[in-house]
Amino acid sequence: MRHVSLEVIEKRKNHILSTIIHHYIKTGKPVGSNVLIEEYDISLSPAAVRKLMAYLEKDGYLTHPHTSAGRIPTDKGYRSYVNSLVKLQNFAIEEDERIRREYEQKHNEIETFLSETSRILSGLSKYTGFVMTPKAHCDQVKSIEFVQISKRELLVVLLTKNGMIKHKRIEACLTYEQVSRLRDFLNEKLRKVSVAEANKKIALEIRNFRQNEAKILEIAEKISDVFYSIQDDIYIDGASNGITISGFNDFDLIKSFVNFKEYKEKFIEIINRDFDSSRINVKIGSENMLSELKDLSVVTAVYNNGEHAIGILGIIGPKRMEYEKMMSIVNHVSEVLNKFFKEMSRQS
């Protein structure tokens, strides 16, 4: 009997695992040894294939549902598959052109741009796309504007270096002169201060502005709310995509994203763990540490402004997604955002 080296056995196991995952992603059905041999020209005997599959199951890469003879990948199996991807697939020309067309129509307000980005991610992947706003500690105050709407109402408008615009109506009975002096004072004190720091600093600065002007002190907290509203937030699109995709009848779980606000903060906390990463990240099933995502995978990338990372974007889909394609989409869209924010930073 010819001796087979451990190196050859490992190569065969890896090939069998990747082939099983590829077939399961395509069909959603458990994979048996006969399918592998007949459809993928694996030049091994059925007994040899079954033995390799048994090894993979023992090692935790495969499992079999119910009493079926076929195997399906576990989270560990998907992880091995993703890690084995040496490089991302290049975009098809038509997809690349589609992204360019979408971004040529971008609007001035950055919120609209980020919302459009989540829609593009969803449209290209057919799953759920999301984009986090630039992080508050990575952004700076560019200017603060006050517009007197009436004797009792003031519109506070905040513009940041990365292009974020936030506005809010507040009750404030101030004279025109008071509004003008407050505007000038805050712009002098807070310009180029990080948004996160400004949020904590504004009440103190207003107190120092004129301690005997009680009316101005009363609106300090209201103005602070505008800074608070620009803290970590997320745009998400395509929450119900999984309901209509052919072959994904087991994907009802994605419906939970319709009520995404219920656990948005926890999701932001999870993806923020990859904020310092310079590569595409993939979290599979239980790796997400969120029960609502236990049957899903999340592919993320960080985007930057040419100097440092400022936000995160990604795709949420089933564990049996086409990982190469999803990673490529996320990578490409992040590069588009990099160019956009780099240009925004130059103009600031």
Here the CATH number for the domain that contains residue 211 is 3.30.390.60
Confidence check: pLDDT of 257 > 80:
no
Q: Is residue 123 domain-shared with residue 163, that is, in the same domain?
A: no
Q: What does the pLDDT look like over 170-203, one tens digit per residue?
A: 887 777 787 887 788 788 888 888 877 887 777 6
The token duo for 309 is: 């990372």
**Residue 90 pLDDT:** 46
Residue 88 lies in a domain: no
Structural domain including 316 reads 93-135+232-347
Residue 1 lies in a domain: no
Choose the final residue of a domain: 190, 206, 228.
228
Q: What does the pLDDT look like over 108-165, one tens digit per residue?
A: 467 788 888 999 999 899 888 999 888 767 777 888 888 777 777 878 888 877 777 7
Average confidence (pLDDT) over 92-112: 57
Average confidence (pLDDT) over 254-263: 53
Q: Is residue 217 domain-shared with residue 238, that is, in the same domain?
A: no
Task: Count up the domains in the chain and report the number.
Answer: 3
Quickly state the pLDDT bin for 224 (edges 50, 70, 90). low
Choose the final residue of a domain: 83, 104, 126.
83
What percentage of the chain reaches a pLDDT higher than 70? 74
Q: Report which of 42, 9, 10, 7 is spatially closest to residue 23, judged by C-alpha positions.
A: 42
Q: Is residue 260 domain-shared with residue 309, that is, in the same domain?
A: yes
Q: Is residue 56 domain-shared with residue 160, that is, in the same domain?
A: no
**Residue 273 pLDDT:** 86
Choose the final residue of a domain: 174, 208, 228.
228
Q: What does the pLDDT look like over 8-53, one tens digit per residue?
A: 888 899 889 989 998 998 888 899 998 888 888 788 888 899 999 9
Q: Is residue 165 domain-shared with residue 300, that is, in the same domain?
A: no
Cα distances (Å, whole numbers) of residue 131 to 63, 94, 121, 302: 34, 23, 9, 10
Q: Is residue 322 domain-shared with residue 187, that is, in the same domain?
A: no
In sequence order, what are the residues at sequence separation of 6 or more whose Cβ sits closer than 8 angstroms to the Cβ of residue 339? none
Q: Is residue 292 domain-shared with residue 333, that is, in the same domain?
A: yes
